[in-house]
Amino acid sequence: MRIDLPIEWVIALNLCGWPVIQLSLAWLFTRMPATWFSRPPAACAWEKDGRIYERAFGIKRWKDRLPDGARWFAGGFAKGELRGRDPAYVRQFLRETWRGELCHWAALSFAPVFFLWNPWWADLVMAAYAAGSNLPCILAQRYNRARFQRLLRRVS
Residue 88's H or E segment, with its range, is helix 87-108
The string of pLDDT tens digits covering residues 86-95 is: 888 889 989 9
The string of pLDDT tens digits covering residues 115-127 is: 999 999 999 999 9
Q: What is the pLDDT of residue 154?
A: 87
Percent of the chain with pLDDT over 70: 99
The answer to the question of residue 17 being in a domain is yes
Q: Tell me the pLDDT band of 2, cut-offs 50, 70 and 90.
A: confident
The answer to the question of residue 75 being in a domain is yes
The answer to the question of residue 2 being in a domain is no
The answer to the question of residue 126 being in a domain is yes
CB within 8 Å of 144: residues ≥ 6 apart = 50, 63, 79, 93, 97
The answer to the question of residue 1 being in a domain is no
The answer to the question of residue 124 being in a domain is yes
Q: What is the pLDDT of residue 49?
A: 87
Q: State pTM to two decimals.
A: 0.89
The answer to the question of residue 133 being in a domain is yes
Q: Tell me the pLDDT band of 45, cut-offs 50, 70 and 90.
A: confident
Distances (CA, A) of 81 to 19, 97, 130, 147: 25, 12, 25, 13
CB within 8 Å of 76: residues ≥ 6 apart = 26, 30, 68, 69, 70
Least Cα distance to 102 among 57, 52, 12, 37 occurs for: 37
Q: Is 129 exposed, middle or buried (0-12, 13-18, 19+ CB in 10 A)?
A: middle
Report how many domains make up the chain.
1
Q: Which domain holds residue 131?
A: 7-155
